[in-house]
Structure formats: C-alpha cells, structure tokens
C-alpha cells in the first residue's frame, strides 16, 4: 500500500516501522507455536507478527539461534554477521 492512499474499504490501518530487527520465520504456524511453548525461547520473543513470524528481542539474536540449534533446527541467518553475535 502506498503512503497516503487509504485502503479500499475506507478504514485506516495502524502501521509501526521497525528497523534493524530480527525475525524468526517458520515453515508453518504449528512450529511457531512450538517455539513459543519453550520458556527459554518465549522470553526472547518480543511479539508475533503473523502466524509464522516472530519478532526477537534486541540483543537476544545469538541466544535464539543457539536455542534453535539445541532443539535440532538449522536456522538460516540472513543479514549482517554481527547481528547474530551481538
């Protein structure tokens, strides 16, 4: 949607822009639920953006990646390398 053009039904949408964030995007909604059910991971998740996308708390990227590996997943980190180590 372009800026300044209202949605077709005339309602307004609330939009929040986040910069330099880490997302965990899962294959399906069930896997996202499983991740949120783990206390250690749930503490590092700031929010759920969709049924498959989880927003990671700032400075918790490395912890989340390590926990995913411990769980047997093979996370693919995309973006700047220092984001995964800070």
pLDDT tens per residue across span 7-49: 667 777 777 777 788 999 999 999 999 999 999 999 999 999 9
Fold of 22-85: Alpha-Beta Plaits (3.30.70)
Query: Which residues have a Cβ under 8 Å from the Cβ of 31 and sit 6 or more positions away?
Result: 52
For residue 56, what is the enclosing H or E element?
Answer: strand 53-56
* Mean of the per-residue pLDDT values of the chain: 84
pLDDT for residue 3 = 55
Angle at the Cα of 64 (from 58 to 86), degrees rounded to 5? 50
Provide the residue count of the chain: 86
**pTM greater than the 0.75 cutoff:** no
> What share of the chain in percent tops pLDDT 90?
59
pLDDT tens per residue across span 61-74: 999 999 999 999 99
The pair of structure tokens assigned to 38 is 């783990």
For residue 24, what is the enclosing H or E element?
Answer: strand 22-25
pLDDT for residue 5 = 60
pLDDT for residue 7 = 61
Assign 36 to helix, strand or coil.
helix
């Amino acid at each position: 949607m372009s800026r300044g053009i209202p949605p077709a039904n005339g309602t307004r949408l609330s939009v929040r822009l986040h910069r330099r964030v880490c997302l965990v995007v899962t294959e399906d909604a069930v896997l996202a639920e499983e991740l949120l059910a783990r206390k250690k991971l749930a503490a590092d998740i700031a929010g759920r953006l969709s049924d498959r996308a989880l927003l990671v708390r700032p400075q918790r990227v490395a912890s989340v990646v390590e926990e995913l590996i411990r769980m047997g997943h093979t996370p693919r980190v995309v973006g700047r390398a220092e984001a995964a180590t800070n």
